[in-house]
Amino acid sequence: MGLEERSLAQTGPRPERPHARADWKQMLGIGIVASILGVVAGLLIDWFPIAASNEAKPIDTLWDVLIIASVPVFVGVCVVVLFSVIKFRMRDGEEELDGPPIHGNTRLEVIWTAIPAILLVGLCTYAFIVLEDVEKAQANTMEVRVVGEQFAWTFFYPNPDGSGEEIAATRGELYLPVNQPIKFNLQAKDVLHDFWVPAFRMKKDAVPGMTVSYRVTPNRIGRYPIVCAELCGLGHATMRATAVVVSREDFDAWLEEQANPPEPTPAAGGGGGSGAAADGKQLFTANCASCHTLSDAGANGTTGPNLDETLPGQDAAAIRTSIAEPSVEIVDGYTNIMPNDYEQRLGAEGVDALAEYLAEVTKEG
């Protein structure tokens, strides 16, 4: 096409573009079918683990409603865009053509402003109602203090003797009686963490320097993973624990045991050491197995050194230093992410027991 011809096409009467009159009914049909498929897929996908709290049901319903409301919007936009790209694309010879000029359409603009506004206000109101509902205070609530630190959770329970003292659960397990309303009071010792039990559906940040709470009522006996949902450092992925929901009787028995731990049987006569070793193994499984490999304890963590390989040849005193003050000497190829407060958490005896145990089970020969 020469230059003159081109300017002629621009000034002359606008010829119709045959493809510009695409069939909007066809577009609507495709949109509806695609939306239905999208919504069905969204509802069929198993997004969440098993529901184990009273709060889970309204939250899952809210999720489904959001899927039903938002998938058609997403699909609708995609269909209009793709349909336009395919149907209204420029064909050969149409380089100079243009559609009829349009100057606004008030009715259309009112509609496309009003529909999203109604949708948004409606969904916000509904979500707010659900939030109010799941956060409602309930009678006979038991408060559990949850403390996050790099990279572990500790749980503190009110002593049932009413003394106002707290009982700490030290084994990385959060025991909860079934059907008991719980209020978690979250705290953080060092950096931001986030206390999340996916099966309960609730989660909240634990912020250093303040106490944040949320409520849940576990309603299903079982064991559920607890994860930290806020990137908190190199060991973040290992910051896991287990929520153990048990019957009221089992819980009372467990709490009683935590309040009055059985006296450690003093190693009698010649049998010295084996008691400490057994205790050390328990401590290891509860505190260290997530990061270290140790065949005697069946542990296969890989964040820290494989202790079967690195400990032979080290005596209990050297191992003790590695546990109590891990930053004194950093093993080659590793960063210093091992928690450095085991002496406070497990007591001097706990660290002694661990060191003796490790020295014993990794002895050469």
Q: DSSP letters of 165-202?
A: -EEEE-SSEEEEETT--EEEEEEESSS-EEEE-GGG--
Distance (Å, rounded) from C-alpha 267 to C-alpha 277? 11
Q: Give the one entry of Cu ion, ligand HEC, none that residue 337 binds, where binding means its C-beta sits below a cut-off of 5 to 8 angstroms depending on kind.
A: ligand HEC
Of 52, 182, 243, 354, which lies in the binding site for ligand HEC, with binding defined by CB under 6 A?
354
Distance (Å, rounded) from C-alpha 340 to C-alpha 262? 27
Distance (Å, rounded) from C-alpha 216 to C-alpha 232? 24
CB of 310 to ligand HEC, least distance (A): 3
Assess 238 for contact with ligand HEC (CB under 6 A).
yes
Assess 153 for contact with ligand HEC (CB under 6 A).
no
Of 232, 276, 351, 354, which lies in the binding site for Cu ion, with binding defined by CB under 5 A?
232
Distance (Å, rounded) from C-alpha 49 to C-alpha 301? 24
Of 35, 187, 235, 277, which lies in the binding site for ligand HEC, with binding defined by CB under 6 A?
235
Of 226, 323, 353, 361, which lies in the binding site for ligand HEC, with binding defined by CB under 6 A?
323
- Helices 342-361 and 316-324 pack at an angle, to 10 degrees, of 150
DSSP 292: -
Phi, psi of 34 (to 5 degrees): -65, -40
Specify the DSSP element, H or E, that contains 144: strand 142-149
Which of these segments, 8-16, 92-100, 156-164, 193-201, binds Cu ion (CB under 5 A)? 193-201
Helix (H, G, I), strand (E, B) or coil at 149: strand
Assess 193 for contact with Cu ion (CB under 5 A).
yes
Q: Give the one entry of Cu ion, ligand HEC, none that residue 290 binds, where binding means its C-beta sits below a cut-off of 5 to 8 angstroms depending on kind.
A: ligand HEC
Assess 146 for contact with ligand HEC (CB under 6 A).
no
Of 216, 239, 277, 311, which lies in the binding site for Cu ion, with binding defined by CB under 5 A?
239
Which of these segments, 41-49, 232-240, 256-264, 308-316, binds Cu ion (CB under 5 A)? 232-240
Q: Give the one entry of ligand HEC, Cu ion, none that residue 326 binds, where binding means its C-beta sits below a cut-off of 5 to 8 angstroms depending on kind.
A: ligand HEC
The pair of three-digit structure tokens given for residue 162, joined into one six-digit string: 């009413």
Q: Give the one entry of Cu ion, ligand HEC, none that residue 224 binds, where binding means its C-beta sits below a cut-off of 5 to 8 angstroms depending on kind.
A: none
In the complex with ligand HEC, the residue whose CB is nearer, 31 or 305, is 305
The pair of three-digit structure tokens given for residue 190, joined into one six-digit string: 């060092």
Q: Give the one entry of Cu ion, ligand HEC, none that residue 322 binds, where binding means its C-beta sits below a cut-off of 5 to 8 angstroms depending on kind.
A: ligand HEC
Task: Spell out the residues 6+ positions from residue 274 whose beta carbon is closer than 8 angstroms to its own.
Answer: 267
Assess 292 for contact with Cu ion (CB under 5 A).
no
Q: What is the largest CA-CA distance in the chain?
A: 113
Phi, psi of 85 (to 5 degrees): -60, -40
Of 174, 188, 228, 311, which lies in the binding site for Cu ion, with binding defined by CB under 5 A?
228
Distance (Å, rounded) from C-alpha 199 to C-alpha 101? 56
CB of 190 to Cu ion, least distance (A): 9
CA dist list (Å): 299 to 202, 276, 287, 290, 293? 30, 19, 11, 7, 5
CB of 188 to ligand HEC, least distance (A): 16
Q: Give the one entry of Cu ion, ligand HEC, none that residue 198 binds, where binding means its C-beta sits below a cut-off of 5 to 8 angstroms depending on kind.
A: none
In the complex with ligand HEC, the residue whose CB is nearer, 52 or 206, is 206
Of 52, 199, 232, 291, which lies in the binding site for ligand HEC, with binding defined by CB under 6 A?
291
Return residues touching Cu ion (CB under 5 A): 193, 228, 232, 239
